[in-house]
């Protein structure tokens, strides 16, 4: 598989410095890309040269190849069921597809705000939220017929400039993008997820991280993402600076909210992590439920699943307008540092244990969401019972982490155009 001529070829930059795989700059995902025929010629030649020299690299490639082969042996599933009648029936009935899924039934919310230059003025217990969220919501789901879930926010509030900003952003996308349908659908799905997590009035924790230094927001970001390696599903909501002020945050840049479903213990360890990272800079406050439930409407929502840090991405269709995207790990070719950081990944030990832990947490969420069992029972079971200190509160917590991006619009998405509509049909 290695090209013999590559061994003596002139291009041998990485290998010339030593063993390929040990070089910090080597992105191991190249091996997968190589298997898939997705490397450009130069990178491929370099890699083949490395492979010719590096026994351990060859072994790793061999293992990946074996994985592919083993997967390929799985027979193609087939089904005798004909859906035609069922669908005709449902089309005639014209009934709603299904009631909107509830998020976690009951929870507390922890909000964390971080910033170098930003002061979080609210939200206070009785803060008023202007109308933009509910307007955006109405715009976003005109045909759903579903109940507006944020009715507690003053519906009589007049439309504001911000509200129309959200709305016009949508319609601009509508007229421009052939991907509209999927993009909106996708965006709505994310929003639903975030709503499900946020739309609960029993919010009790609000954590503000006051950063020092200009990269404090990025540090909070990293801490939360790192922590989220063990969380099956979480959302990030990016709120534009203009909208952020309506939430009571002032300062440069937008605000990021991280939404995570956690047990009490997990939320405690996240708090501890943040406290370690920001000594003396973490304080608690009471969030206004009205504000919190509006978040999914105010910003662009991305839903991620760990452990891949890069997994959390905001749709480029929307980011260009009013949300922000951290592109630092989106294109590893262009940014070797980011690539190196990512390929470091979790240690083998972490890697082995993460899926189990992840499954455990997921099973909590599923069991609770499925309404099969009482939340506290599930969580008690999942968390080692020997350590369970009798807690008066629910053992499960929705965490919302808020931070303020210091660089704001400067990082808007530029890396990638919209995907081609024909993409999937080519084969």
Partner 1 sequence: MVVRLDSEEEREITAACRAGQPDAFGALVRRFQDRLYPTIVRLTGCPAEALDVLQDTFLKAFEKLDAFQGESRLYTWVYRIAVNQALSGRRKRRSTRSAENLDGGADDSRLTAREDDPSADLVRDERETAVRRALAALAPEHRAVVVLKEYDDLSYEEISGLLGIPIGTVRSRLHRARLELKELLRDWVADEIEEERHAATRADAARMRRL
Range 308-327, binding partner 1 (CB under 8 A): 308, 310-311, 313, 315-316, 327
Q: ∠ CA(193), CA(194), CA(197), 5° rounding?
A: 90
Applying CB under 8 A, does 40 fall inside the site for partner 1? no
SS3 299: coil
x-or-dash string of contact with partner 1, 245-284, rule CB under 8 A: ----------------------------------------
Quick one: 260 exposed, middle or buried, by C-beta within 10 A (0-12, 13-18, 19+)? buried
Which of residues 18, 75, 142, 390 is near partner 1 by CB under 8 A? 75
Closest of 300, 283, 146, 265 to residue 205, by C-alpha: 283
From the list 49-57, 58-66, 130-138, 394-402, the region that binds partner 1 by CB under 8 A is: 58-66
Binders in 352-371 for partner 1, by CB under 8 A: 352, 355, 358-359, 365-367, 369-370
x-or-dash string of contact with partner 1, 158-197, rule CB under 8 A: --------------------x-xxxx-xx--x--xx----
> C-beta of 52: minimal distance to partner 1 in Å?
17
> C-beta of 332: minimal distance to partner 1 in Å?
5
Q: Give the pair of three-digit tokens for residue 263.
A: 């047990």
Applying CB under 8 A, does 227 fall inside the site for partner 1? no
Give the nearer residue to partner 1 in terms of CB position, either 319 or 405. 319
Applying CB under 8 A, does 372 fall inside the site for partner 1? yes
* 217 contacts 326 by C-beta, under 8 angstroms: no
Dihedral sign from CA coordinates of 176, 180, 184, 187 = negative
From the list 45-53, 119-127, 303-311, 389-397, the region that binds partner 1 by CB under 8 A is: 303-311
Which of residues 14, 33, 273, 285 is near partner 1 by CB under 8 A? 33
Applying CB under 8 A, does 142 fall inside the site for partner 1? no
Applying CB under 8 A, does 381 fall inside the site for partner 1? no
SS3 329: coil
Q: How far apart are CA 394 and CA 106, in angstroms?
A: 8
Applying CB under 8 A, does 22 fall inside the site for partner 1? no
Which of residues 8, 16, 18, 91 is near partner 1 by CB under 8 A? 91
Dihedral sign from CA coordinates of 347, 348, 351, 353 = negative
Applying CB under 8 A, does 305 fall inside the site for partner 1? yes
Quick one: 60 exposed, middle or buried, by C-beta within 10 A (0-12, 13-18, 19+)? middle
Q: How many residues bind partner 1 (CB under 8 A)?
A: 93
Applying CB under 8 A, does 80 fall inside the site for partner 1? yes
Give the nearer residue to partner 1 in terms of CB position, either 173 or 274. 173
Q: How far apart are CA 333 and CA 181, in angstroms?
A: 31
């Amino acid at each position: 598989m290695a090209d013999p001529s590559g061994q003596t070829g002139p291009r041998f930059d990485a290998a010339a410095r030593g063993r390929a795989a040990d070089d910090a700059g080597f992105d191991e995902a190249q091996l997968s890309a190589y298997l898939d025929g997705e490397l450009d010629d130069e990178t491929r030649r370099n890699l083949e040269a490395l492979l010719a020299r590096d026994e351990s690299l060859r072994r790793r490639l061999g293992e990946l190849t074996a994985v592919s082969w083993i997967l390929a042996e799985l027979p193609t599933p087939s089904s005798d069921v004909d859906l035609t009648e069922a669908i005709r029936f449902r089309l005639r009935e014209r009934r709603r597809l299904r009631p909107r899924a509830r998020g976690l039934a009951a929870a507390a919310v922890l909000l964390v705000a971080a910033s170098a230059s930003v002061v979080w003025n609210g939200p206070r217990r009785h803060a008023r939220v202007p109308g933009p969220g509910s307007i955006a919501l109405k715009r976003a789901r005109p045909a759903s017929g579903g109940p507006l879930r944020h009715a507690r926010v003053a519906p009589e509030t007049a439309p504001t400039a911000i509200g129309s900003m959200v709305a016009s952003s949508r319609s601009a996308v509508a007229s421009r993008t052939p991907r509209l349908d999927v993009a909106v659908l996708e965006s709505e799905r994310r929003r639903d997820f975030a709503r499900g997590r946020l739309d609960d009035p029993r919010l009790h924790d609000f954590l503000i991280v006051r950063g020092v230094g200009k990269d404090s927001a990025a540090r909070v970001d990293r801490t939360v993402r790192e922590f989220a390696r063990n969380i099956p599903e979480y959302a990030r909501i990016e709120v534009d600076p203009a909208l952020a002020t309506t939430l009571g945050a002032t300062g440069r840049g937008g605000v990021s909210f991280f939404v995570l479903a956690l047990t009490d213990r997990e939320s405690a360890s996240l708090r501890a992590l943040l406290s370690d990272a920001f000594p003396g800079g973490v304080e608690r406050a009471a969030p206004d439920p009205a504000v919190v439930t509006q978040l999914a409407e105010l910003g662009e929502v991305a839903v991620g699943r760990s452990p891949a840090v890069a997994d959390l991405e905001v749709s480029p269709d929307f980011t260009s307008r009013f949300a922000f995207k951290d592109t630092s790990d989106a294109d590893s070719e262009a940014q070797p540092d980011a690539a190196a950081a990512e390929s470091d990944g979790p240690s083998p030990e972490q890697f082995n244990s993460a899926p189990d832990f992840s499954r455990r947490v997921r099973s909590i969420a599923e069991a609770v969401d499925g309404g099969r069992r009482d939340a506290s029972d599930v969580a008690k079971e999942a968390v080692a019972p020997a350590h369970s200190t009798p807690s008066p509160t629910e053992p499960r917590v929705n965490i919302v982490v808020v931070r303020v991006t210091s660089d704001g619009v400067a990082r808007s998405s530029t890396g990638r155009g919209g995907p081609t509509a024909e993409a999937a049909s080519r084969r």
